[in-house]
Amino acid sequence: MDQPGSEAPEEVTEGAGRGAADLPADYPSEVAEFVERFAADLTAAGFQRMAARVFACLVVSRDGALSSAELAERLRISPAAISGAVRYLGQIHLISREREPGSRRERYRLHQSVWYEAMTQRDQTLKRWELTALTGADVVGRDTPAGRRLLETAAFMVFLEEQLDEIMERWHAHRAVAATPLERDDERGG
């Protein structure tokens, strides 16, 4: 018997059936299929669907940066869909916008340490949730069932903040000792 949540994410069919000739030379069909699979996994974990597709496409791009037109060509989606997706990805600190030199066009770039950056930004969110839960406990009464649930929520947020800080410190120390594949590629000029 399968465990809840162990089923494979639904397959993403948008863009399915396109031939290799329809894709950019630096985006072969195998890469496109991987992007859709990674996006499906991210969507199953709670990402917005278009944001997951854009993020996965940026992850596999050579420089970790693409223009709106490049994203639209690879993913076969409209500029409006890209606009909403990059807005969401920026809000959760996974990408940033940059101007192409000498152009008004924007490129969307992954942060070099994308997961580290996103997780360290979670600290602010956890703190805000903690304070909101404490305020709620005061509003409904700390000795009521709802107040106790809110106090438990606040305590859990404090616990997560502490644990996340320790995990980030350990990750930083780990990276200082053993270069990640990305850093090794940068050193080789690849």
Residues 87-120 pLDDT 10s: 999 988 899 998 877 877 889 999 877 787 777 7
Can you give the pTM of this predicted structure? Answer: 0.70
pLDDT of amino acid 37: 96
Measure the N-to-C terminal CA separation of the chain; round to a whole number of Å.
Answer: 45
pLDDT of amino acid 189: 44
| Inter-helix orientation angle 29-44/68-75, to 10° | 100
pLDDT of amino acid 178: 78
* Range 20-110: architecture per CATH: Orthogonal Bundle (1.10)
Query: With bands split at pLDDT 50, 70 and 90, how would you rate the model's confidence at 130?
Result: very high
**What's the mean pLDDT when you consider all of the chain?**
82
Query: With bands split at pLDDT 50, 70 and 90, how would you rate the model's confidence at 79?
Result: confident
User: What value does the mean pLDDT take over residues 32-61?
Assistant: 95
Cβ count near 157 (within 10 Å): 20
Q: Which of 8, 93, 83 is nearest to 50 (CA)?
A: 83
